[in-house]
A and B are shown apart, each in its own frame.
Chain A
């Protein structure tokens, strides 16, 4: 049976390396298990623009993502800067963010979790690990979907 994580629609993938992006999308879409659409942006500012529907996404009425997969090393705002902006903005902080890292052994993971990342995945992304992490985050999303902020987001 295909997995669609409850309340998760678009998955926003923020990754500048096209090879990594291809591998992640392939891993997630393997065997058609994950039905969620994946929106890929290649830099940090693009991620913020997409989430706030500004910049090149100004005219789009794209559905809000239910999850952000965020790489750390990015052009035009690195992952930490994007994470900080998301978590310090009342309208954005409810978006669950899972960091993409090259290793779990580094200060990057610690820094990301301190900045408010919900979790992290070490690249290359393995499908089952992704599902386990996202389902955990999915519960978080479902939990706060009754909150006032989430209600306002859905009503927009």
Chain B
């Protein structure tokens, strides 16, 4: 495979008198790109299959735990009820982890077409998907008016989902989601981030060192990789 470029030769008067054509052999580069594309596709397929296979037993465990709590609660002692509720909470954590892994794999492999969509509806869907987590945390969420935008709807949804999970996970009880002056925001009254840790939050796998919580530490990494607006310093 070759790549051809042409450079005009101009006379002293500026007239084009000839052209220099250069041929580059890009076979190796193209083969490498194809191989990388196939690898990424395989990776995405594997993660997709793994996420489904991982979630399937989680659904069963959560379903049966809920069933026991709903139908046999009066026959259980307090400790039994508590342990079942802990089982459910941990299932939800695992479920979020699997979704997180899926998001990361798609970030690097999939380019979705840009479309016009309602950011408000995306937020509504995210809050619906996370309704159980939000309910269990006791957080109150207010959403402001959002515009219609042109972009990668699936990635934007992933970003919002991770911002809300972070807000709920890190103790936010009052969460506000909105749009102001060209910037989408998710504000919470949780523990915040120390200024000296700001530079670490965009690294995948990074999490605030002194906080025990779940997650693969990829929420803010997704923000960065999705070309989102830069972090504002007032995250405290």
Contact = CB atoms under 8 A, between A and B. Distances in A.
Interface of A: 17, 19-20, 23, 26-27, 73, 102-107, 122-124
Contacts of B102: 103, 105-106
Contacts of A104: 125, 128-129
B99 A23 contact: no
A102 B60 contact: no
B59 interface: yes
Interface of B: 48, 51-52, 55-56, 59-60, 62-64, 66-67, 99, 102-103, 125, 128-129, 154, 157-158, 161
A111 B62 CA distance: 26
A124 B56 CA distance: 10
Contacts of A19: 60, 63-64
A26 B67 CA distance: 9
A21 to B, nearest CB: 10
The 10 closest A-B pairs by CB, nearest first: A23-B63, A19-B60, A124-B63, A102-B55, A123-B59, A124-B59, A104-B129, A102-B52, A124-B62, A105-B99
A124 B64 CA distance: 10
Q: Is the interface of B mostly helix, strand, loop or mixed?
A: helix
A45 to B, nearest CB: 20
Contacts of B129: 103-105, 122
Given A102-B52, A103-B55, 9 more contacts: A20-B56, A20-B60, A23-B59, A73-B52, A102-B51, A102-B55, A106-B102, A122-B129, A124-B59
Given A102-B59, A105-B102, A105-B158, A23 B64 contact: yes
